[in-house]
């Protein structure tokens, strides 16, 4: 057996953990920059809790609340300039994957001069600003990963800055901020987490420890399918979804994502399909492809889902996603070719040729 496992992020999960950990937050410096989206942090109480925690310890702060969905490179540089000008000691991210990923790039660029052209390739050899992360969606797991994913217009896709120095310092998990999260975002983010757990399971980099985490995350999410459908989520359900997405984040921190995410990036970049939905749309067809040669692995996943067949799974996913988005033949061709050129496609447990990728896209999204 071979295991290589490391999560440097301190994880604290508890209702009201932001206020209860004011001392810990204040230990990272005298001035913080809060990185967040335009509206939700102010509306769901997370920003107030952070501000109250900082003020209770006389920590100064500035708020950078400009992060859009699928954050851009320009936004990261803008945030970093502000962090430098304001001489902040640490970064606090509040929000979904978009503010969290932007915050990682800001923490990096605030201490290191990297030219835009080198952003995704420059070696990162020293610590970035300390990062306190408060996820307010249960999906990306970015609070426990070393990835910052930004929109890359040069390559017409989403690209990743990856470094062990980008693991957040602390993740504070409180499901109460998700009470206001609408059905659409709750389902999409949950499907994102499910894809992380499943793709990690079907990565050549999976080991028995990551597989255990994948199975646990899949089980937790599967138990919530009915509640997601009726959109009847109590506090305990929100907590479980948040816990599952963090587990799935730890999985991708070790295994990365594979074919579904690689194909999904084109759906987001070209068709503006939400990240989690893009992955959800492609998942079952991908599993069918794996099932052709590795049915045992698929059976293990079905068992964790408490389902008998991929058709049963497809029905559930279809219900959650509603009307499907449609691609043309030209789009299918283009996205398959793009995915084929991505080196990490080879981390998938099966070899995928261009025809296989086209088949996954066609089955999932042909009108
Ligand atoms: P998001 O883009 O961060 O947020 C989606 C929407 O949800 C925004 O409108 C946001 O509003 C709103 N929102 C967030 N929390 C809310 C709450 N508690 N209540 C009400 N509304 C809330 O979406 P996401 O799916 O979480 O993140 C997607 C991004 O994560 C993509 O860029 C993807 O590439 C990235 N990702 C990163 C990793 C990683 O390991 N780093 C893994 C997977 C995905 P505001 O804008 O007003 O906040
Ligand atoms: Zn994802």
Question: Within 13 Å and on the Cβ side, how many CA atoms surround 101?
Answer: 24
37 Cα to the center of ligand 1, angstroms:
9
Cβ < 5 A residues, ion ligand 2? 192
Q: Whose CA is nearest to atom 42 of ligand 1?
A: 140
pLDDT at 1: 87
Q: Is 38 helix (H, G, I), strand (E, B) or coil?
A: coil
pLDDT at 2: 87
pLDDT at 50: 99
Of the listed ligands, the closest to the CA of 258 is 2
pLDDT at 366: 78
pLDDT at 248: 99
Say if ligand 1 is within 6 A of residue 264 CB: no
Tell how many helices (H) and how many strands (E) occur in the chain.
16, 8
pLDDT at 143: 98
Q: Whose CA is nearest to atom 48 of ligand 1?
A: 37
Please report the sign of the dihedral spanned by the C-alpha atoms of residue 258, residue 323, residue 364, residue 328.
negative
Say if ligand 1 is within 6 A of residue 13 CB: no
Query: Hey, what are 228's tokens?
Result: 């997601």
Cα–Cα distance for residue pair 193/31, rounded to 1 Å: 33
Distances (CA, A) of 165 to 10, 97, 146, 286: 14, 18, 7, 32
Interstrand relation of 131-135 and 170-173 (parallel, antiparallel or unpaired): parallel
Task: Report the 3 state secondary structure along 194-235.
Answer: HHHHHHHHCECCCCHHHHHHHHHHHHHHHCCHHHHHHCCCCH
- Provide φ and ψ at 348, rounded to 5°: -70, 140
Q: Whose CA is nearest to atom 25 of ligand 1?
A: 189
Question: b/e map of 24-44 (b: 16 or more CB within 10 Å)?
Answer: bbbebbebbbbbbbeebbbeb
Cα–Cα distance for residue pair 161/149, rounded to 1 Å: 6
Cα–Cα distance for residue pair 308/301, rounded to 1 Å: 10
Q: Whose CA is nearest to atom 29 of ligand 1?
A: 97
Of the listed ligands, the closest to the CA of 137 is 1
Where the chain has pLDDT below 50, the residues are none
CB 189 within 8 A of CB 138: yes
Q: Whose CA is nearest to atom 40 of ligand 1?
A: 142
Query: Hey, what are 109's tokens?
Result: 């660029």
Q: Give the number of the atom of ligand 1 that is nearest the alpha carbon of residue 188.
A: 25
For 268, the enclosing helix (H) or strand (E) is: helix 259-271
């Amino acid at each position: 057996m071979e295991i290589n496992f490391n999560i440097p992020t301190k994880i604290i999960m508890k209702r009201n953990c932001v206020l209860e950990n004011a001392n810990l937050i204040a230990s990272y410096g005298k001035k913080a920059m809060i990185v967040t989206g335009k509206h939700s942090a102010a509306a769901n109480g997370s920003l107030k809790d952070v501000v109250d925690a900082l003020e209770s310890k006389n920590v100064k702060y500035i708020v950078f609340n400009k992060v859009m969905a699928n954050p851009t490179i320009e936004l990261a540089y803008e945030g970093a300039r502000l962090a430098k000008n304001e001489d902040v000691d640490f970064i606090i991210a509040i929000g979904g994957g978009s503010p969290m990923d932007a915050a990682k790039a800001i923490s990096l660029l605030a201490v290191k001069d990297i030219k835009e052209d080198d952003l995704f390739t420059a070696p990162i050899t020293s610590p970035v600003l300390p990062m306190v992360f408060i996820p307010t969606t249960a999906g990306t797991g970015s609070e426990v990963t070393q990835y910052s994913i930004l929109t890359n217009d040069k390559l017409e896709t989403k690209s990743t800055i990856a470094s062990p120095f980008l693991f957040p310092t602390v993740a504070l998990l409180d499901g109460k901020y998700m009470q206001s999260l609408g059905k659409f975002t709750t389902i999409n983010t949950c499907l994102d987490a499910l894809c992380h757990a499943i793709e990690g399971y079907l990565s050549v980099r999976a080991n028995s420890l990551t597989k255990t985490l994948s199975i646990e995350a899949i089980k937790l999410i599967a138990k919530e399918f009915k509640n997601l459908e009726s959109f009847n989520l109590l506090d305990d359900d929100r907590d479980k979804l948040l816990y599952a997405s963090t587990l799935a984040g730890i999985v991708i921190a070790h295994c990365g994502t594979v074919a579904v995410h690689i194909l999904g990036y084109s759906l987001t970049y070209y068709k503006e399909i939400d990240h989690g939905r893009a992955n959800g749309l492609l998942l079952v067809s991908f599993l069918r492809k794996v099932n052709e040669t590795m049915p045992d692995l698929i059976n293990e996943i079905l068992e964790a889902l408490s389902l008998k067949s991929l058709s049963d799974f497809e029905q559930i996913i279809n219900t959650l996603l509603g009307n499907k988005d449609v691609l043309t033949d030209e789009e299918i061709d283009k996205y398959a070719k793009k995915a084929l050129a991505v080196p990490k496609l080879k981390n998938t447990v099966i070899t995928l040729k261009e025809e296989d990728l086209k088949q996954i896209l066609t089955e999932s999204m042909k009108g």
